[in-house]
Chain A
């Protein structure tokens, strides 16, 4: 309406009808009054337009200063207008049902529900280059590999300084840059539980600092670290270190075809390792795939005495809906028996190869699958479906059992020498936040774990059917 009046006024003014002082009508008081009214209206319209203009300018300026509140697929958070400051809340909840095929009750594992991970994450950015992340754990986890328990604790608490893509520093409690599968998020892993490589050999989380970065257009990444140190598969606490010996970590990983249109675009490979020298090192127990039972443990009093070196070549490959991850880890650990009479260097290793195939055609990646057509009742979308399969082994150095009774590092009646596991699974991603998963895994143990000294028998096979409901945002 304003526009119309404005246009009419302008047209009239332009035509000279209202302004023509020489017009015969000019002397007519009515025409003069009408002319004045039109001019007043013209001013009013201009004022209104200018006010709108100013309001729009102010709104645009305010928008530049107003923090952006985000509540959407990427999570919940708030960000300063210039993006220099950000705070967000993320979360991961995993509710599992664990079913053991254990008719003879030869193990003490029970069927039942468990809240595997309950992790709110508070993370953010300060001044555009300093990131922080704080994640407590309220779920059933105890990855110290020294027992079982339900310990609420800080699982991640660290600060990153991103000074340059090639030079970043992280300090606090976090996943050391070592294991490939370990570096996958807890909500992104393809199987319900990680492999022996992650859970039994390589460190889970450390307390320390790392320098890391990306080079050559992010085709090569590196990391070196310095940590209090933890035993195989272990997670450090946030308490003061029990000794002065430290773990040194290093990793290089390359994705040489990243950004190209080659079929190898999704290929990445590298190698990582850790080193420590400790005369008082505690030693781990190695868990079965269920993560509830130990198939190998050192005899009481056996300790790490000397160097521990871990080496882990690792690779992944993703092409379309297909993905594969392969990882090997070997730990060379100097040990001493309880009596202090025998020293040895034990070489334990583990490896895995896991493949995934997204049946609904979405691209596979190191991260979780994003369904093209999320599942919604009454609509056509069925989310994304993914088949997974894995074979993995964990092998204990035979020397752990070979020493004469009394001086052994491990008891063949309670510990097995090898664990060989195959597993399959199905993941249903209802949408990018909700996932249902089920896995079947069967493990064959060899080289002990049962029987008597006169008749050492292999530990009974473990057959597990695990299911999971996962929320991740």
Chain B
């Protein structure tokens, strides 16, 4: 009898001690609305962050992710999708969260280092093994008879980077003669048999459906395709000039204020800049911005001549208006 009472007492003490701990551990959920090819990156990163947050605070955080064409994802957030954080392909799509939804402050990009872009990437060519069409640079994809796969710039952030990279190349080749650059872009677009809505869809078109001779792809997407399907099937071709893609991230203020998730959402994005976060980015073929990690992985990323949106196009607002808004150069050339 004494033993039973002793056990009961011990159990009661254990329960009493455990109760405050259990009561203090909160279950938190975050929604990260991202662009198309970041699925694998955030799958790894979310697991690492959840572990980190649990160790730091004792709270359980579950991160859900939504992926799609960057422009489309931005519009979904404006239309009411409750994203705690937005990690989109380009700053213009996040600017829209302020411009059209007043969901974030105007100067959102100043809140985190590197204009809120924790990693970068660029645009390269993915061709079939042996490069049967001998594609080496942008001129080659404008040749007649070359089938080019790229998504729709109206919905895809990656496609806009593709377009601007080609435009920058054209401007240099034709000494800033815009008419000739337009003709050059027209020839490339004429070679595009199908426009997917997002980068992942375009990869599916090229890799799984066997369509086209070349895929204009995010560098990380090209590496991933090569890794997943084997270097015996595809090759990466690095053009002579490309564009520095800076996919930015932000907390969606109105949502985190409403849901009470600001602290964890901010920590989530800050974690992207830590050594561990940068390692995960590099392993998923995104170019890290942290010097130490960038140096460690520098062999993985080819060196090439990169232009930036700011220097070449006067920033995303101007680039969007000139090229991708209704009636912009893309419409003028593609719909002609």
Contact = CB atoms under 8 A, between A and B. Distances in A.
Interface of A: 43, 46-47, 49-51, 53-54, 57-58
B242 interface: no
Contacts of B194: 47, 50-51, 54
B210 A54 contact: no
Interface in B189-209: 193-194, 196-197, 201, 205, 209
Interface of B: 147, 193-194, 196-197, 201, 205, 209-211
Contact of A43 (B196, B197, B211): B211
Contacts of B197: 54, 57-58
Contacts of A57: 197, 201
A50 B149 CA distance: 12
A156 B210 CA distance: 63
A58 B196 CA distance: 10
B209 A46 contact: yes
Contacts of B210: 46
Given A43-B147, A47-B193, A47-B194, A54 B209 contact: no
Nearest to A54: B196
Given A49-B209, A50-B205, A54-B197, 5 more contacts: A43-B211, A47-B193, A47-B194, A57-B197, A58-B197
23 contacts: A43-B147, A43-B193, A43-B211, A46-B209, A46-B210, A46-B211, A47-B193, A47-B194, A47-B211, A49-B209, A50-B194, A50-B205, A50-B209, A50-B211, A51-B194, A53-B209, A54-B194, A54-B196, A54-B197, A54-B201, A57-B197, A57-B201, A58-B197
A58 B152 CA distance: 13
A43 B147 CA distance: 9
Contacts of B211: 43, 46-47, 50
Contacts of B205: 50
A458 B128 CA distance: 104
A58 to B, nearest CB: 7
Contacts of B147: 43
B135 to A, nearest CB: 16
A128 to B, nearest CB: 12
A54 B201 CA distance: 9
A223 to B, nearest CB: 32
Contacts of A58: 197
A8 B292 CA distance: 56
Nearest to A45: B211
Nearest to B211: A46
A18 to B, nearest CB: 15
A16 to B, nearest CB: 17
A227 B211 CA distance: 70
Contacts of A49: 209
Contacts of A53: 209
A51 B195 CA distance: 8
A359 B231 CA distance: 77
Nearest to A47: B193
Nearest to B210: A46
A193 B201 CA distance: 64
The list of the 5 closest CB pairs from A to B, nearest first, reads A47-B193, A46-B211, A50-B209, A50-B194, A50-B205
A51 B192 CA distance: 12
Contacts of A51: 194
Contacts of A43: 147, 193, 211
Contacts of A47: 193-194, 211
A47 B196 CA distance: 11
A417 B277 CA distance: 88
Nearest to A53: B209
A57 B152 CA distance: 15
B127 to A, nearest CB: 15
A134 B205 CA distance: 52
Nearest to A82: B80
A317 B144 CA distance: 80
Contacts of B193: 43, 47
Nearest to B209: A50
Contacts of A54: 194, 196-197, 201
A58 B197 CA distance: 9
Contacts of B196: 54
A57 B194 CA distance: 14
Nearest to B208: A50
A49 B193 CA distance: 11
A46 B212 CA distance: 10
Nearest to A58: B197
A65 to B, nearest CB: 9
A57 B211 CA distance: 18
B148 to A, nearest CB: 12
A105 to B, nearest CB: 68
B62 to A, nearest CB: 23
Nearest to B147: A43
A285 B147 CA distance: 87
Name, among B194, B196, B197, the residue most crowded by chain A CB atoms within 10 Å (CB to CB).
B194
A54 B209 CA distance: 12
Nearest to B201: A54
Contacts of B201: 54, 57
Contacts of B209: 46, 49-50, 53
A304 to B, nearest CB: 50
A57 B193 CA distance: 17
Nearest to B193: A47
A53 B201 CA distance: 11
A49 B211 CA distance: 10
Nearest to A84: B80
A43 B211 CA distance: 6
A58 B205 CA distance: 15
A2 to B, nearest CB: 14
A379 to B, nearest CB: 48
B42 to A, nearest CB: 21
A79 to B, nearest CB: 17
A57 B155 CA distance: 14
A47 B209 CA distance: 9
A43 B205 CA distance: 11
A46 B205 CA distance: 9
A219 to B, nearest CB: 33
A48 to B, nearest CB: 9
B70 to A, nearest CB: 16
Nearest to B195: A54
Nearest to A46: B211
Nearest to A65: B79
A58 B194 CA distance: 14
